[in-house]
Structure 1
Amino acid sequence: MGSQEVSTVDWQGKHVTVAGLGVSGIPAARALHERGALVTVVNDGDDERSRAQAAELEALGVTVRLGDGATLPPSTELVVTAPGWQPDKPLFLAAAEAGVPVWGDVELAWRLRGDDGREPAPWLAVTGTNGKTTTVRMLASILEAAGLRTAAVGNIGVSLLDAVLGETEYDVLAVELSSYQLHWAPSLRAHSAAVLNLAPDHLDWHGSMEAYAADKGRVYEGNTVACVYNAADRATEDLVREADVEEGCRAIGFTLGTPGPSQLGVVDGLLVDRAFVADRQKQAQELAEVADVNPPAPHNVANALAAAALARAFGVEPAAVRDGLRAFRPDAHRIEHVADIGEVAYVDDSKATNTHATEASLAAYDSIVWIAGGLAKGATFDELVTGAAKRLRGVVLMGADRALIHEALTRHAPDVPVVDLDRTDTGAMSEAVARAAELARPGDTVLLAPACASMDMFTNYNKRGEAFADAVRARADETA
């Protein structure tokens, strides 16, 4: 199915089971019901919030079963699932045995686009282990600078269903896709797509690194113009080679070094394009300065290059790339500078919840007091510590799995001072900042880049980052 073809389904009287209430399940149930489908929602939880959501749907005529997300309702012809439900759940095993297809929210949005007669907007899709949200928001900023009607949607928090079915008519959508969403999106065909990087993550859900990579690679299937890959990450290029794309679709690399033909890269502090120019062998088009990227940390420059590649694949002019990058402001808790105290910078990268993201964060600074720890999610830290050892002035550890990081530091950075805070209460952050300040010297960066999830101590990484920022600001007030 080509990128702009619209798939029509006769929903009238079709028995559809929606798996999961929540940000994707409720819009899916509503949209299907409005189209005449006989919708049953199944949900594992049966709490007060679920009952309130169920009552709203039941008032419309949707059937809701709470506390039983395992059983496939009789007569089901299609299952539409929330992206987080694991593929080995009994509901999906029963669907497979019965020959019932399973779609995710992305697949449903893809199938419903254009069913109101409007020309559907092309999708520029982004996936990868880290950097997806930043890249998609950069891309949307560039597209807006080009005068295009666009939105950053998908796994970024704005429902794709809302974007596809809402009143706004878009020229193009910047779409963030997780590996979960791609797993359940067999017919998705993007205009162009990028895989930013690949590192072990969510292996408990996918079952293996190979399965995780294969789901990421689905984003390239059927691309019509460009498959954008990371020249520094061979695994992303391998996924391009394996993809079944439309004739004429090109492989476009991005690199932090000097770009070759059909690549975007960096030359003398400039972001340059040798892919979307008339003579790729001899020409290079200046797009922006590295200083236009906020912040200009290496991994964020890579994000900017990927966003620029997708925008250029869509025909955006160089000036819009520059203007869009200048206008972009990163989300909170992503290498966010909080304050300078006594010639020491304090930086919040609470979003660095795995070793791959933390590796990129640590690479952005020369001398670091590193605050780390939390829930390791099965990760190991030897490679991370080995790569960062020469940059570490000191380390402050907290959280449930801090011992795993401490052991790696003992093996690979035995001379680096380590403060091990034997506590997992939220107040530990204030002590962590105070101890980090004791270790820091003028010119250092105190960096919160935990390499772990936050839920042992905080509701989410946002709350962890806020606790760090609050502790830093309180310290700044004390020393002012």
Structure 2
Amino acid sequence: MNTNLDNLTTWDADWSHLSVVVTGLGVTGFSVADTLAELGADVLVVDGKDTQANRQAADTLKIVGVKEVQLGAHAVQGLPDAHLIGDKIDLVITSPGWRPDNPVLIAAQAAGIPIWGDVEFAWRVRQREGRRTAQWVVLTGTNGKTTVATMAQSMARAQGLDAVAVGNVGRPILDAIRYPDGFDLLIVELSSFQLHWLHHVEPEASVVLNLAEDHLDWHGGFDNYAAAKAKIYENTRIAAIYNDDEPMTIRMVEDADVLEGCRAIGITTDTPQRSMLGVVDDLLVDRAYLANRATQALELAQFADIGNPAPKHMVFNALAAAALVRAVGVEPAAVQAGLRSYEPEPHRIQAVAHFHDVLWVNDSKGTNPHATDAALATYDPIIWIAGGLSKGASYEHLVQTHKSHLKAVILIGSDQQPIIEALQRHAPEVPIHADYLKHTTVDFADGAAVMHHVVRLAHQLAEPHDTVLLSPAAASMDQFENYNVRGEKFTEAIAQLLADLNYPGH
């Protein structure tokens, strides 16, 4: 077994002696295997799904030099036979979604084989002779990560930096590492899954945006989930950024082993204290990244630069993005310019239709109660479309907080009981619609067909000035491929409804 992984810290190191098992053949696993093959390592990929798409990906990887790809349930029952990669396994690099209790990973741990994630690997190959080495700023949180990452990208680009948001945002980090011209700045969005397998990076700035129950089944409880999130602060160079409204993030910064000279920087949607970014009237201001912060603040932007109106959660997101990029020298004018040119991501509190004085909002990215909290706080009254895979989350606080906004609830998904119980306990007067497929032949698993009926039911229930809000507070995989598809099927069903109504313009 190789014992010199500590020496593999640049692209130009000798990776050719390494024998690596890569778990997963999705976007991340493919990028890992492809990169390892380019570096000359012996690579064997395993994935439990023997699909046409995976077979095509396997064929491509073999063309570029991957030794073997094994697909199907048998391939993930334990460590593969290493005879095809030098009769040894030096390292396992796992895809983010693979649970720690997967038999392959358990076997690797039992055998004393190191396990990395793709981010650990990317950090080790980030330096390459003849190319720029990008600075990293990193962020995580239960909700808002992608919005903050893409806002920060917009601000950095307004400064003139070659910047790109990578990681959990959708673009594999290794694709950016391998980009021929390199980048000035990588804005790295990290999920709790990725952080679980992370051992050592040294970002310029780091932030945990917020923390709520999510992925508890994967991590085996909230404490483990929080511990994974807290790892993001380790070895931060310049700014360890916390949410002043969430004491747990403050404690994470206090407990982190950061590099000498790193400062704690706070974010608040209230008036900021020294070394914080916050709000004064309708302005976003900075009392952290200036020498005379004891007595002065820099104006960064106005609420109108974010939107009209500017929801509180978006103000917070803008402040978090600004805190990250200000750490690497982005000027206030670029912060404002980046916000003005920023285009919000789809499926996150996205108004998709307005007819008969009813607003239809797609918040399919609301995959947990904490995310849906922001959406329910934004509108009133609401016909709420909710449900899916709850991932062990509780809906008690969510329903209790927003019950006065709820006019009716339409349930989708397989795991409806936790929401039903919360509604019955805290909002018994709110009608619950869960049996709308009773007299149809629609298969519950056919998400597109289900959404067709949901939208028509919502149209029947809605009155002028209502908002129909798809914010499921749950994952989507029981009825849809992912939350993007769920949101797309919602908007497609609305478009079909408008066509059937012969509504002008449709």
Q: How many Å apart are 1:108 and its aligned residue?
A: 0.7
Tell which deviates more after alignment, 126-135 or 399-408. Answer: 399-408
TM-score (norm 2): 0.89
Indicate if the aligned counterparts of 1:393 and 1:440 stay in contact, CA closer than 8 A.
no
SS in 2 for 1:49: helix
Which residue of structure 2 lines up, in the alignment, with residue 386 of structure 1? 400
Is 1:152 paired with 2:180? no
Q: How many Å apart are 1:474 and its aligned residue?
A: 4.1
Cα 1:64–1:207, aligned 2, differ >3 Å: closer, same or farther?
same
When the two chains are superposed, the root-mean-square deviation of aligned CA atoms in Å is 2.1
Which residue of structure 1 lines up, in the alignment, with residue 15 of structure 2? 11
Q: C-alpha separation between the residues in 1 aligned to 2:459 and 2:51?
A: 44
Which residue of structure 2 lines up, in the alignment, with residue 332 of structure 1? 346
SS in 2 for 1:151: strand
- Equivalent of 1:205 in 213, 218, 224: 218
Q: How many Å apart are 1:291 and its aligned residue?
A: 2.1
Where in structure 2 are the equivalents of 1:59-138 lying within 5 Å? 59-66=63-70, 67=72, 68-69=75-76, 70-72=78-80, 73=82, 74-138=87-151
Q: C-alpha separation between the residues in 2 aligned to 1:55 and 1:463?
A: 27
Which residue of structure 1 lines up, in the alignment, with residue 409 of structure 2? 395
Q: C-alpha separation between the residues in 2 aligned to 1:63 and 1:339?
A: 50
Cα 1:374–1:62, aligned 2, differ >3 Å: closer, same or farther?
closer
Which residue of structure 2 lines up, in the alignment, with residue 46 of structure 1? 50
Which residue of structure 2 lines up, in the alignment, with residue 427 of structure 1? 449
Indicate if the aligned counterparts of 2:12 and 2:129 stay in contact, CA closer than 8 A.
no
Which residue of structure 2 lines up, in the alignment, with residue 360 of structure 1? 374
Which residue of structure 1 lines up, in the alignment, with residue 441 of structure 2? none
Q: C-alpha separation between the residues in 2 aligned to 1:97 and 1:430?
A: 49
Deviation readout 1:214-267 (Å, 9 max, x if unpaired): 111111111111011111111111111111001111111111111111111122
Which residue of structure 2 lines up, in the alignment, with residue 471 of structure 1? 493
SS in 1 for 2:163: coil
Q: How many Å apart are 1:406 and its aligned residue?
A: 2.2
Identity %: 50
Which residue of structure 1 lines up, in the alignment, with residue 244 of structure 2? 231
Cα 1:433–1:21, aligned 2, differ >3 Å: closer, same or farther?
closer
SS in 2 for 1:31: helix
Which residue of structure 1 lines up, in the alignment, with residue 320 of structure 2? 306
Which residue of structure 2 lines up, in the alignment, with residue 283 of structure 1? 296
Indicate if the aligned counterparts of 2:217 and 2:391 stay in contact, CA closer than 8 A.
no
Deviation readout 1:312-345 (Å, 9 max, x if unpaired): 1111111111110111111211111112223222
- Equivalent of 1:450 in 453, 472, 495: 472
Q: How many Å apart are 1:6 and its aligned residue?
A: 5.3
Q: C-alpha separation between the residues in 2 aligned to 1:399 and 1:42?
A: 30
Amino acid at match of 2:329: G
Indicate if the aligned counterparts of 1:398 and 1:421 stay in contact, CA closer than 8 A.
no
Q: Which runs of 5+ in 1 are unaligned?
A: none
Q: How many Å apart are 1:397 and its aligned residue?
A: 2.3
Which residue of structure 2 lines up, in the alignment, with residue 260 of structure 1? 273
SS in 2 for 1:24: helix
Is 1:418 paired with 2:471? no
Q: C-alpha separation between the residues in 1 aligned to 2:61 and 2:310?
A: 47
Cα 1:60–1:396, aligned 2, differ >3 Å: closer, same or farther?
closer
Indicate if the aligned counterparts of 1:298 and 1:363 stay in contact, CA closer than 8 A.
no
Q: C-alpha separation between the residues in 2 aligned to 1:258 and 1:390?
A: 29
Indicate if the aligned counterparts of 1:393 and 1:416 stay in contact, CA closer than 8 A.
yes
Tell which deviates more after alignment, 343-352 or 44-53. Answer: 44-53
SS in 2 for 1:40: strand
Cα 1:368–1:117, aligned 2, differ >3 Å: closer, same or farther?
same
Cα 1:472–1:21, aligned 2, differ >3 Å: closer, same or farther?
closer
Which residue of structure 2 lines up, in the alignment, with residue 409 of structure 1? 423
SS in 2 for 1:229: strand
Amino acid at match of 1:54: A
Q: C-alpha separation between the residues in 2 aligned to 1:119 and 1:463?
A: 37
Q: How many Å apart are 1:363 and its aligned residue?
A: 1.2
Tell which deviates more after alignment, 131-140 or 160-169. Answer: 160-169
Q: C-alpha separation between the residues in 1 aligned to 2:62 and 2:304?
A: 54
Amino acid at match of 1:273: D
Deviation readout 1:161-192 (Å, 9 max, x if unpaired): 11112202211111111111111120111110
Indicate if the aligned counterparts of 1:421 and 1:428 stay in contact, CA closer than 8 A.
no
Deviation readout 1:418-471 (Å, 9 max, x if unpaired): 333443353333433343344444333221111122233333222222232233
Indicate if the aligned counterparts of 2:216 and 2:391 stay in contact, CA closer than 8 A.
no
Cα 1:375–1:19, aligned 2, differ >3 Å: closer, same or farther?
closer
